[in-house]
Amino acid sequence: MTSIPFPRLTGSADVSVRPARPEDAAAIARVQGITWRTAYRSLLPPEVLDGWDEAAVTETWRSAVTTPPSAHHRVLVAVEQGAVVGFAAVATGTGTGEISTLLVEPRWGRRGHGSRLLAAVTDLASAEGTDRLEVWLAESDQASASFYESAGWAPDGWARTLDTGAAPLRELRWHVALDPEGVDR
């Protein structure tokens, strides 16, 4: 596995962000399941949330960590007192990178984990030559929109509609430009 630079990675021994390990897969799946059930109950079809297959999701995350689609795909975890409390999945490289997900379990919210994850993703992307990051957010997800906006991100005018099997889910693309030193511009 390639070593990942984290120039701005900070935190005490009790609170940090680090690359995900295969043994984190179950915790990542747990964080995703709890967060989706809590924050996205009104956005996702009940059969997706009620039929959640923890074992399958765990194996998907284990694969994402051990055999990512490319050397530029990474999964990072936020840790507090040894427990995984959040995670981010990102694809970087020259040009434009994309955060596919960044979630913090609700009971661990408002402790800076999301901001630390986003800072680590930004540093990683800048170190790998990414000059722009994008993320798709549900149009009705005001909490995530506020979070990204407070970090200097903005919608770029693109929208897409996903077929969820129930009501269509409209998403807006948000972006931020990065400079070579990893500081947002």
pLDDT tens string 100-155:
999 999 876 676 899 999 999 999 999 999 999 999 999 999 999 999 999 999 99
Residue 2 belongs to some domain of the structure: no
Q: Tell me the CATH number at 136.
A: 3.40.630.30
Q: What is this structure's pTM?
A: 0.86
Residue 121 belongs to some domain of the structure: yes
Q: Give the Cα separation of 146 and 154 in Å (integer).
A: 10
Handedness of CA 142, 101, 27, 18 (dihedral sign): negative
Domain with 83, as residue range(s), is: 15-177
Mean pLDDT score across all residues of the chain: 87
Residue 11 has pLDDT above 70, yes or no: no
Q: What is the DSSP letter of 95?
A: E
Residue 6 belongs to some domain of the structure: no
Structure tokens at 7: 């120039």
Q: Tell me, what's the pLDDT at 180? A: 52
| Total domains, the chain | 1
Residue 185 belongs to some domain of the structure: no
- By percentage, how much of the chain surpasses pLDDT 90? 68
Residue 3 belongs to some domain of the structure: no
Residue 183 belongs to some domain of the structure: no
Residue 4 belongs to some domain of the structure: no
Residue 87 belongs to some domain of the structure: yes
Q: Tell me, what's the pLDDT at 9? A: 46
